[in-house]
Amino acid sequence: MQSCRRWPYHPLVQVQLSHPARIVEVKGPKKVKDLLRELNLPVEAHLVIKGDDLVTEDEMLYDVDKIEIRPVISGGSPLTPHPSRFTDSDDLHQM
Amino acid sequence: MICTKCKTKAVIGLPRHNAAFCKGCFNGFVHDQVVRAIKSEKMFGKEERILVAVSGGKDSLALWDILLKLGYRADALYVDLGIGGYSEQSHAKVTKFAEAAAASHGATLHLHTVEQEAGAGIKELAQLIHRPTCSTCGTIKRYQFNRVAVEQDYDVMATGHNLDDEAARLLGNVLHWQEEYLEKQGPSLPASVEGFAMKVKPLFRLSERELAAYAILNRIDYIVEECPMAKGAKMLQYKDVLNRLETESPGTKQMFYWGFLEKQSKKQPTATTMSEKDRAVLHPCSSCSQPTTAEVCSYCKMMARAKTHSSS
């Protein structure tokens, strides 16, 4: 994997990542699932977008492709509160 | 990858179902899963009025979109928590969806702004009452969604909790052996006492990845950034663990949560006894009349402290 352009310029697969937002470049051709594995990103927690379309894990990425790997996980809502705070309606009707 | 149903090019593979779908068949799959959830848990019918809790995230906007497309009478409520640029952005996404998509179905968006009532945003409120921000957020959202649902005569309140949310919460409760909370981990909670709206989770059969895919494929513009207050939240850690297991062993999350629901349905008390338990411990808050076990509910206590603080 390369993190910056080399000179003389050779096109690579441009990969947009989140958390933190950054762009990395990788050498193609490469299967989507192999790229996710190399980046240690679980398939179940990510989607790969090329243009306006989703890309399946078996698809091949080539140099000059531009893709986004979008994390799909959200949610910081609390787990059920500790029983010591089991004192009002909010706690009784956890959603 | 080829679509399991129509044999055209697939846009998503679903290992837990040993299937892959093109956009059209995937939308059909998602709608079918929601219909199955609504019917199997007897959540609501076509004539009932539904209040959807929307945040600007993929799950809640997808839920609103799906319910409207399925022909349900679904309005929504957005609670502006006052988290700087994050709230501004999420508010804008919700408004955009309401105007561009929901309005054509005759749906209404309600709005509650925390700063207008409390004089402070969620972060300041959490500091004031010495509780974690996510916990304070939960208290405010549950209170406001219930209040609007009851005051405006909605039959049921729907949230965008998905399979990942429920599996992660179940894992947390099991890891800490919080058995007393397991009874209320089902996808449908009855309006057990006067002042509580019925609450349902129509997305419990769909994973977070499937819902993100639905939002992207249907051009639903949602907020991708994680809430800045959620960094390091335990839920995210549990989800990460479950997703690593799911990637290696597809179906793990649904076996864990659906298996739990199946066992609960065989041995747990019915909704009636859950209502009986609630009726035994709950009474109206002396300040706002929403059900509480205390003299004054935690929301009213929090608002009282906020008002005292802002006037001092």
Q: In chain A, which residues touch B (CB < 8 A)?
A: 18-19, 42-47, 49, 53-59, 70-81, 83, 86-95
CB atoms within 10 A of CB B5: 16
pLDDT band at B225 (very low <50, low <70, confident <90, very high): confident
Mean pLDDT, rounded, of chain A? 77
Task: Identify all chain A residues contacting B132, using CB atoms and an 8 Å cutoff.
Answer: 78
pLDDT of amino acid B271: 59
Contact B189 A18 (CB under 8 A): no
pLDDT of amino acid B147: 94
Task: Identify all chain A residues contacting B183, using CB atoms and an 8 Å cutoff.
Answer: none
* DSSP line for chain B: -B-TTT-SB-SEEEGGGTEEE-HHHHHHHHHHHHHHHHHHTT---TTSEEEEEE-SSHHHHHHHHHHHHTT-EEEEEEEE---HHHHHHHHHHHHHHIIIIIGGGT--EEEEEHHHHHSS-HHHHHHHHT--HHHHHHHHHHHHHHHHHHHTT-SEEE----HHHHHHHHHHHHHTT-GGGGGG-SSEE---STT--EEE-TTTTS-HHHHHHHHHHTT-----SPPGGGTT-HHHHHHHHHHHHHHHSTTHHHHHHHHHHHHHHHHS--HHHHHHHHHHH-EE-TTT--EESSSS-HHHHHHHHHHHHHH-
- CB contact B90 to A (< 8 Å): no
Contact A92 B230 (CB under 8 A): no
Contact B293 A92 (CB under 8 A): yes
CB atoms within 10 A of CB B149: 26
Where in chain A are the domains? Answer: 13-71
Confirm if B83 and B125 have CB atoms less than 8 A apart: no
pTM to 2 decimal places: 0.89
pLDDT of amino acid A19: 80
A-B contacts at Cβ under 8 angstroms: 166
pLDDT tens digits, B98-142: 999 999 999 999 999 999 988 888 888 898 888 888 889 989 999
Q: Give the pLDDT mean for A5-24.
A: 80
Measure CB to CB from residue B216 to each of A54, A93, A95 and give the nearest one.
Answer: A54
Q: Give the pLDDT mean for B271-280.
A: 74
Residues linked to residue A43 through DSSP beta bridges, in sequence order: none
**DSSP state, residue A52:** T
CATH superfamily of A13-71: Beta-grasp domain (3.10.20.30)
Contact A74 B226 (CB under 8 A): yes
pLDDT of amino acid A20: 83
Contact B178 A83 (CB under 8 A): yes
Confirm if B63 and B51 have CB atoms less than 8 A apart: no
pLDDT tens digits, B70-99: 999 999 999 999 998 999 999 999 999 999
ipTM: 0.87
Task: Identify all chain A residues contacting B4, using CB atoms and an 8 Å cutoff.
Answer: none
Contact A93 B142 (CB under 8 A): yes
pLDDT over 80 at B28, yes or no: yes
3-state secondary structure of A93: coil
